[in-house]
Amino acid sequence: MLTISDRGRLMPPSPIRKLVPFAEAAKKKGLKVYHLNIGQPDIETPPSILDAVRNADIRVLEYSHSAGNESYRRKLVKYYASVGINVSPDQIIITTGGSEAIMFGFFACLNPGDEVIIPEPFYANYNGFAVAAGVKVVPITSNIDNGFALPPITEFEKVITDKTKAIVVCSPNNPTGYLYSPSEMEALKTICLKHHLYLFSDEAYREFCYSGEYYSAMHLPDMDEHVVLMDTISKRYSACGARLGAFVTKNKTVYEAAMKFAQARLSPPGLAQIMGEAAVDLPASYFDQPRSEYMERRDLLVKRLNAMPGVFCPNPGGAFYAMAKLPVEDSDHFCQWLLESFSHDNKTVMLAPATGFYGTPGLGRNEVRLAYVLNLKDLDEAMNCLEKALEVYPGKEG
Amino acid sequence: MLTISDRGRLMPPSPIRKLVPFAEAAKKKGLKVYHLNIGQPDIETPPSILDAVRNADIRVLEYSHSAGNESYRRKLVKYYASVGINVSPDQIIITTGGSEAIMFGFFACLNPGDEVIIPEPFYANYNGFAVAAGVKVVPITSNIDNGFALPPITEFEKVITDKTKAIVVCSPNNPTGYLYSPSEMEALKTICLKHHLYLFSDEAYREFCYSGEYYSAMHLPDMDEHVVLMDTISKRYSACGARLGAFVTKNKTVYEAAMKFAQARLSPPGLAQIMGEAAVDLPASYFDQPRSEYMERRDLLVKRLNAMPGVFCPNPGGAFYAMAKLPVEDSDHFCQWLLESFSHDNKTVMLAPATGFYGTPGLGRNEVRLAYVLNLKDLDEAMNCLEKALEVYPGKEG
């Protein structure tokens, strides 16, 4: 008998994409669907970085160095210095999106059966990389009622075993928008040093901080051996489709192990590296416009949500996501119902049910994630839809 | 103590790249180095496919579908039909190079501890993906003396255990250039059907067949459930840096498992997909020029090699590699010596020692792989270097 692998069976399908067939059916019926379900921004990719590809003089599109073009890594050193991170080109591996950086970290540092602690709700694809690597995700719960602050050190220590090898953090956070404070980052440092853990830091949303300052895991002193930075240009320059990221660490042994995985896949995407290199030349002021745009959207979204009866949305400090508690029994059902059975002025809204972002079964059943990736007008319309929907939805709480 | 993973330790460094520091040192000394060590062709990337990217109207470079753009998959259906492979768009997952297609196959089909049989010498990076997936590579030896023909079925059956799950083949082959005959492909089918094995077929060099016809694993009747095609545009259109490939199977369960791995990494490179789509529009005659160019190079290379005392090079039927037996004790030492201690008219040549392509320790010690990726004039000069080197090399056989 031909059988697929256990990990092939266990691999979770994308929770964000599982409602896609219902959205497609809604569109076929003629409905306009506002997509707040996925982190695909509508912000324009900077034309100059696309022009860099257009104007590149390429006779043969060759493999690059497995760590990425040295010229790009040198540029990234300048970029990282601009955000207070001091690294050298040989501490950077250019990756195929942030995804591959996560994969390299898991595969280079963790054995099958090892455990990683991740504050939940968390980016659902960490589950996928964990299954691929045979690693166990141990969630510790952060709570919507205090805006998803980092759980106290004691909560981490309750779940640390001799299999625990790493903590994964993402700040500003997907899906909560929470921005870890310097003292929370210090707490993570304390745990990692005491228990000899890696700190995998996903900083995809670094540029989008609204309440408080960005604080990188790489800013933590005495943590050089522990920190692995998993980065991407996807959100920074609204270039998700480029598939360009970076794996950054000062731990030489980890770097060398990751490099062997990088060599096996030969090189990261070549055209995207031209874009990435040009992006470092954008003026620092480039981020002002998207940041203020996102901030206005956040303010509108949070205000609209909290004005709806029974809805609670803590104010996210960064990224472009918000989590909201809704007065519904089952947000998976509600999100499907929005696409299948509801419309308002021939429109509806697509949200991501929060259950997919929790590792603990049963959590998040009355929560949704909203990505504020649409312009203010569309976002406002989407909120009109949600408001009307909650008025008529038959599966209300209690 | 912070430790890296076992697979991080076990992961083999690239055998092709390990001599790079010696090549860099040779260049610093002012030597011209002819690179026959790596499969990076000098053939021009078709300008029209780069123009397709230059002319693309992109406002936001968005994530594509995790299986790749549907428009590209539809085009690929046409391309595959042109080589006698009948598939539908939902049997194709666009991947980040052929590398990711290999990875999806290993991860979706094989458990840690499972065994894959691969005729050796084989593409060295299969080892890397096997270590990443926890899979054991079981080599069976093909021999330079009969031009690396497929070992007989009895050799396969000697090593098949209850852990054997798949056979990996590559035809035309890297590193041998061997082109499997229809009867050899039939033999593989017999083994796979009898022992319930997947047939992973790496067909990166399909377009470059010189002696005999290309015969795909997908041409085999009754093998739909067994065959996983691992493909790439890297060599087809001399676009190695694009990082664009395809995972193709008619086995729905395998496809769906692989799709979950594809969803976890979100999408394949976006700009490269525009190139790939444009490439399908190249006229069938496009391949005539590179094919005849490679064939001339092969003919020159094989003739020059076999004219050198003690050298034997079987005539490769396809791809752009040749394996040669040299009158040396240790080709690793010889290849390093070429870079460190030899020059002819201020030039030298870089070759890949064959040991890295064998799974059985000790094999290939007097063989090298030569990639005929340079133009005829350079190739001829490189052969002059090799000829002179063999005359003066102190580590000759016997």
Hey, are the CB atoms on A107 and B5 less than 8 Å from each other? yes
Tell me how crowded residue B216 is: count the other CB atoms within 10 A of its CB: 19
Residue B44 and residue B19: Cα distance in Å, rounded?
A: 26
Amino acid at B120: E
DSSP, res A209: B
Q: How far apart are CA A318 and CA A332, in angstroms?
A: 25
Cα distance between residue A272 and residue A53, in whole Å: 8
Q: Which of B3, B4, B106, B123 to mutate to test the interface with A (most CBs of A within 10 A)?
A: B4
Q: What is the pLDDT of residues B129-145, one digit of tens each?
A: 999 999 999 999 999 99
Q: What is the pLDDT along chain A (398 residues), one digit of tens a residue?
A: 899 999 999 999 887 778 989 999 999 999 999 999 999 999 999 999 999 999 999 999 999 999 999 999 999 999 999 999 999 999 999 999 999 999 999 999 999 999 999 999 999 999 999 999 999 999 999 999 999 999 999 999 999 999 999 999 999 999 999 999 999 999 999 999 999 999 999 999 999 999 889 999 999 999 999 999 999 999 999 999 999 999 999 999 999 999 999 999 999 999 999 999 999 999 989 999 999 999 999 999 999 999 999 999 999 999 999 999 999 999 999 999 999 999 999 999 999 999 999 999 999 999 999 999 999 999 999 999 999 999 999 988 76
Mutate to test the interface with A, among B38, B42, B62, B189 (most CBs of A within 10 A): B62
Interchain proximity A268–B40, CB inside 8 Å: no
Q: A257 and B9: CB-CB below 8 Å?
A: yes
Residue B297 has pLDDT above 90, yes or no: yes
What DSSP character marks residue A148?
Answer: T
Residues of chain A found within 8 Å of residue B8, distances taken between Cβ atoms: 107-109, 254, 257-258, 260-261
Min Cα distance B306 → chain A (Å) is 31
Q: Flag if B4 and A97 touch (Cβ within 8 Å).
A: no
pTM: 0.97
ipTM of the complex: 0.96
Token pair recorded at residue B232: 């790439």
A131 CA: distance to closest CA in chain B (Å): 10
